[in-house]
Structure formats: structure tokens, C-alpha cells
Amino acid sequence: MMARNTDMRWRLPLVCLLWELAMIILFGVFVRFNAESDIAGWEKAKQEKNITSDAENDFYFRYPSFQDVHVMIFVGFGFLMTFLQRYGFGAVAFNFLLAAFGIQWALLVQGWFHTFENGKILIGVESMIGADFCVGSVCIAFGAVLGKISPVQLLIMTLFQVTLFSVNEYILLDLLHVKDAGGSMTIHTFGAYFGLVVTAILYRPNLEQTKDKQGSVYHSDLFSMIGTLFLWMYWPSFNSAISDHGDAQHRAAINTYCSLAACVLTTVAFSSLLQKKGKLNMVHIQNATLAGGVAVGTAAEMMLTAYGSLIVGFICGIVSTIGFVYFTPFLESKLRIQDTCGIHNLHGMPGLIGGIVGAVTAAAATEGVYGKEGLIRAFDFTGDFSHRTPSVQGGFQAAGIAVSLGMALAGGAIVGGILKLPFFGDPTDENCFEDNVYWEVPGDEESSLYCMNDSNAKPVTDP
């Protein structure tokens, strides 16, 4: 393989500066405060809707959940990926970069689809949650290509994926009128299969030689657990963040709490069962314990019930752990899909399960459980959709899974093809999973760092 030029000096600044300038111009033209964050607008809304208390501002219903989601995107995903012994800077900081760009672009694209009025996009706290959600799907896809692409490639992937995410979301939520508050379909299924197709197209046949660097060291596994735990703890906020005020947010949090708890036990069980001598594997604890949150993403706000949630978590801990032990090696050797973080196990399969659970839960909804008003309220059976029945809704939910999967596969193929273009500065195979390529790493000139890594590691000389 020819030595490539990984010098980012002109390419990365150019992309960052030009795109940020574009954001400023587009925000200037399009983005305005919505009625609840505008000084004159809130005054007017209070009068018109006869609101007597500022506590009715949507900010107070959603801001604590927004902050939890924000932590999941930046600390959760960022630190979860620091498990690699020599890619901690790239994991946490490239995730930071992609998310910071992604939320701006998502505010625009989602705004055009959802809150576009009189030529203006109106934003509020729900827009910020939506933007963070959208970026979550890019963080997931980043997990598949972690350590193998340049920051410029990452920004390009973000640009396209945010756009496609928003199109897919619009089809599901608006056209198919599907419920997906925690994003099993729109975020996890879409993000995971998109990323898997991209990494398949960027297949690197000689990645074996960096096998050492694909492992962790003791303290990098602890850093990764910071990410795991913040994702796990705040997932109830994630799945309830954009549900309706009142009982729906309340219920979504409880269901997610239950599913995640069950998932931890089956993950531990199968991690021990599948390893020789019954020793636990940190990779499973870091990842598979979260699958329960993914898989109640669609149904959490429905009347899934606590025991229904436990069953979903139970199954997903098993599926996800088995995935790490058997599917990931299979995908790599047979299908040439190199999935660095195992997103297929954490987001792919649990996302599909989540979509199915949502479809079944919707189809099984009855007036006996929801009440007549409750059923209409839970599924928005109003306006054009006032004639829908739960079983029809279940069918549309199932269609939503298929659409998300299709969009992910097609979109991933196109974007993967674009990223293959030879001038984006991706690292050579032997320089994958190595911070040194894009970062000034402290102590590189000396021996200091390497005692923390395995004895085979050698300072990487710049190409």
C-alpha cells in the first residue's frame, strides 16, 4: 500500500471554517426562537393560551432530560470509545467534533422538516433534544469506523448522515405516522446499519497487523466504563425526553429503567458462560448492558409495563453478548465488515428488536388498557389518522423498521463510496487505531508512554 498523506493542515481547517461559515449564514437566514423562548412570543403565548405560570414553559418539562441526553452524546459515546489503548484522544475528541458540527446541521435540517413556518425555523428545547438525538445516530456509526478514518472523512459522513437521518425521520414520523420516541428505528437501527455498510465499503484487508492496538489496557477499560455508566444511567431520560408531558414521560422512564436493569444480569450471565473458565469480559459489560435501553426505544412510552420491559432487557442482554462472541468475528471474516466497537451487537440487533417490540406493543393496544381517550392520545389518532386502529398502527410501525433499514443500507453505500475517494487523508492500515497520526501525543519522543501499552508497541513514525 502506498504511503498516504495524513497531514490535515489545510484540509481539516478548510472544512471546519467553511462549513461553520455556512452554518452562520443559514442560521441567519432561517433560524429564530420559537414562542416559548422568544421574549415577545412567550408574552403573547401566555395571553393567548391563558397561561398563568412560567412553569408551563416547555423548558421546565424537558430541560433536565435534555441535559441528560447531552451528557450521553458527549461523555457517554465519547468515553465509551476510549477503550482502545492508543486512540483515546481520537475517540473522545473526534466524537466531540462530529457532535458539535452535527447538532448545528441537524437544527437546520430537522427544522426544515418539522418546525418551518413562514420561511423560518422556530427552535426551542425540543429542537435541541432532536438535534442531539440525530447526532446520536452518527456517534453510533462512528463506532463502526473508529480508528480507521480521518477527521475530514468523519465530518463528511456527519453531513450526509444527519441529512439522511432527517429524511428517514420525516418519512417515519410524519408520513407513516409511526411512534418512535426513543429512536429504536430512527436512531439505532438507522445509525448502526448505516455505519456497518460504510465500514464494509472501507474494508481494510491488512488490519490484522494492528491487532495489538485494537485491544485495551487496564485503565482505558475504566475510562470506557465512565461512558457506559453515563449512557446506562441517563437512558431513561433519553427514551422519555420527547414523549408527551405527564404520564407518558413518567412511564417511558420507568420502562427503560426496568429493561436496563434486567439487561445487566443476562449480560453478566452470558459473558461468564461463553468464556473459558467463566471469566467476565469488560467488552460485554461496557456494551451489552446497554442493549436493553436501545430495545425499548420505541415502546417505552407505550403501556409496555414493567415486566414487559424486563423481558425485552432479558433477551437483549443475551442477544448482544452472543453477538460480541460469535457474530462480530463472523461479520469480519465472512462479510468483511470490520466493526470496531461492535455496534451491530449494541445498536443493530437491539434496534431491530426495539422496532418489533414497538410494532407488537402498538398492535396489542386496547381501549381496556389505554382508555378511549388514552388510545387516541398515545398514538395521535387525530386528523388524517383518526381512523387508524392499533393493529393498523402496528403494521405501519413494522413498515417503519423496513424503511429505516433500507435508508441505512442505501445511504451507507453512497456515503461509503464518497469516503473512499483518495484525498481525505485516511491513515494507512498500520497506522489505524493510533492517535499519533492526527494528534500531538505527549511523551512520544520518549519511552514514557509505552510502558502502559503492550511491549510490541512501537512509536509510529510519521509517514
Contacting a second copy within 131-190 (CB under 8 A): 151
Give buried/exposed letters for 396-428 (b at 16+ CB in 10 A, else e): bbbebbebbbebbeebbeebbeebeeeebbbbb
**One-character DSSP codes across 322-389:** HIIIIIHHHHHHHS----TT-HIIIIIHHHHHHHHHHHHHHHT--HHHH-HHHHHHHHT--GGGTT--
* Window 355-374: residues binding a second copy (CB under 8 A): 369-371, 373-374
Residue whose C-alpha cell is 466497537: 341
Q: The dihedral of CA 109, 115, 118, 120: what is its sign?
A: negative
At closest approach, how far in Å is the CB of 97 from a second copy? Answer: 5
Q: Say whether residue 57 binds a second copy (CB under 8 A).
A: yes
At closest approach, how far in Å is the CB of 340 from a second copy? Answer: 16
At closest approach, how far in Å is the CB of 203 from a second copy? Answer: 26
Q: Say whether residue 454 binds a second copy (CB under 8 A).
A: yes
Q: Which stretch binds a second copy (CB under 8 A): 16-24, 337-345, 347-355, 384-392?
A: 16-24
Q: Which stretch binds a second copy (CB under 8 A): 177-185, 259-267, 354-362, 383-391?
A: 259-267
Q: Say whether residue 55 binds a second copy (CB under 8 A).
A: yes
Of 17 and 335, nearer to a second copy (C-beta) is 17
* Cα 207 from chain centroid (whole Å): 25
| Grid cell in block for residue 118 | 413562514
* Window 70-89: residues binding a second copy (CB under 8 A): 70-71, 74-75, 78-79, 82, 85, 88-89
Q: Say whether residue 419 binds a second copy (CB under 8 A).
A: no
- Using alpha carbons only, what angle is made at residue 74 by residues 71 and 79, rounded to the nearest 5 degrees? 105
- Residue of 4, 27, 363, 392 interacting with a second copy (CB under 8 A): 27
| Grid cell in block for residue 433 | 487505531
* Window 274-313: residues binding a second copy (CB under 8 A): 275, 277-282, 285, 289, 303, 305-307, 310-311
Could you give the CA distance from residue 180 to residue 239 in angstroms, rounded to a whole number?
A: 9
Q: Say whether residue 324 binds a second copy (CB under 8 A).
A: no
At closest approach, how far in Å is the CB of 59 from a second copy? Answer: 4
Query: In 3-state terms, what secondary structure has residue 31?
Result: strand
DSSP assignment letter at 188 = I
Compute how many residues bind a second copy; rule: CB under 8 A: 144
| Grid cell in block for residue 311 | 423481558
Q: Say whether residue 423 binds a second copy (CB under 8 A).
A: no
Q: Which stretch binds a second copy (CB under 8 A): 191-199, 234-242, 356-364, 387-395?
A: 234-242
As beta bridge partners, residue 123 has: 33
Give buried/exposed letters for 258-278 (b at 16+ CB in 10 A, else e): bbbbbbbebbbebbeeeeeee
Give the residue from 389, 359, 72 showing the smallest Cα distance to 234: 72
Q: Say whether residue 68 binds a second copy (CB under 8 A).
A: yes
Q: Say whether residue 380 binds a second copy (CB under 8 A).
A: no
At closest approach, how far in Å is the CB of 184 from a second copy? Answer: 20
Of 102 and 348, nearer to a second copy (C-beta) is 102
Could you give the CA distance from residue 405 to residue 197 in angstroms, rounded to a whole number?
A: 11
* Window 184-223: residues binding a second copy (CB under 8 A): 215-219, 221-223
Q: Say whether residue 459 binds a second copy (CB under 8 A).
A: no
Of 84 and 405, nearer to a second copy (C-beta) is 84
- Residue of 41, 167, 413, 420 interacting with a second copy (CB under 8 A): 41
Q: Say whether residue 31 binds a second copy (CB under 8 A).
A: yes
